Structure 1
């Protein structure tokens, strides 16, 4: 069990090795710094099905999963904040368990729970349940889902206040087909 810090609420962020998790971590660091809250970075890795089916709950498997999770958290913090973020009390935890259930359990009523919003296909959603939806349905904490920025918003932020170039006019599929037919079959 993770002990709650004295003084109240904190920002709890769930991370994995995805661009959405990097954005969520960055947002959570900024929010913790802005509000003067402590930050709990959590990586939860489910036990592989073949291990749980075989009943092999030896310490070697869980220790390896926790170690890989700790390395992942360190890597993400290096990428997002160049190491431990300044001005934020940070706790990092790598656990073995279902990510959604673990995050809901760790985030208390007065906490802020932050996760990333990734784009997954239907097959991926069948094989692995959505952490975002699990947390949205069951969390007692304030829930925040961070979506990675779109290409348009990145281009706009890089333009330094200049007007972004006008988008190319939309050409209807009928006109495209007509143009292709004229080029392919000249009269």
Structure 2
């Protein structure tokens, strides 16, 4: 029996603090309730653009970015699902340094599903999928669910 067969199924969801990502998280939790899966809420972060081509950040500055990323993720999870540890499914929030599409694809290896929100802003653009979502749809190692935003909300 392989290790994958003994692990509980996982649903990976990209969370960036936006309303569509919070909707995706809520949907992933609902699906996890139905399937008995755990949910991995993943926030991918990168250094701000000014660091590119310049002196890399110090260890302290690097830690500051990581702490800030984790705060954004924790706040988004609480806003989407309500505060508190008594949630209906196993939830593993994770912040990872790296390009968002690459991070999500890496974490989704072996997952049951990868869930992303769309970033459409209304009108024709609402029908479009953002670059991260499109990359995930085209390259994911598992099925991908794209949650369309309702146009407003959290």
Q: Same fold (TM over 0.5)?
A: yes
Q: Name the CA distance, whole Å, in 2 between partners of 1:19 and 1:80.
A: 9
* Structural mapping, 1:24-35, within 5 Å: 24-35=24-35
CA drift at 1:150: 5.3
Point out where structure 2 has 5 or more consecutive residues left out of the alignment. 123-129
- Change in CA separation of 1:74 and 1:104 when aligned onto 2, cut-off 3 Å: same
**Most deviating of 89-98 and 79-88:** 79-88
| Number of equivalenced pairs | 142
Of the two, which has the highest radius of gyration? 1
Distance 1:62 1:33 in 2: 36
TM-score of the two chains, using structure 1 as the length reference: 0.67
- What SS class does the counterpart of residue 53 from structure 1 fall into? coil
Q: Which has the higher contact order (CA 8 A, sep 6+)?
A: 2
Give structure 1 stretches of 5+ with no counterpart. 122-128, 155-187
What per-residue deviation string (whole Å, max 9, x for no partner) do you get for residues 119-151 of structure 1? 159xxxxxxx71101111111111111011258
Question: Which 4+ residue blocks in structure 1 deviate beyond 6 angstroms?
Answer: none
In structure 2, do the counterparts of structure 1 residues 80 and 5 end up closer, same or farther at CA, with 3 Å as the change threshold? Answer: farther
TM-score w.r.t. structure 2 length? 0.81
> Cα RMSD between the aligned structures?
2.5
Q: Which residue number in structure 2 is paired with residue 71 of structure 1?
A: 71
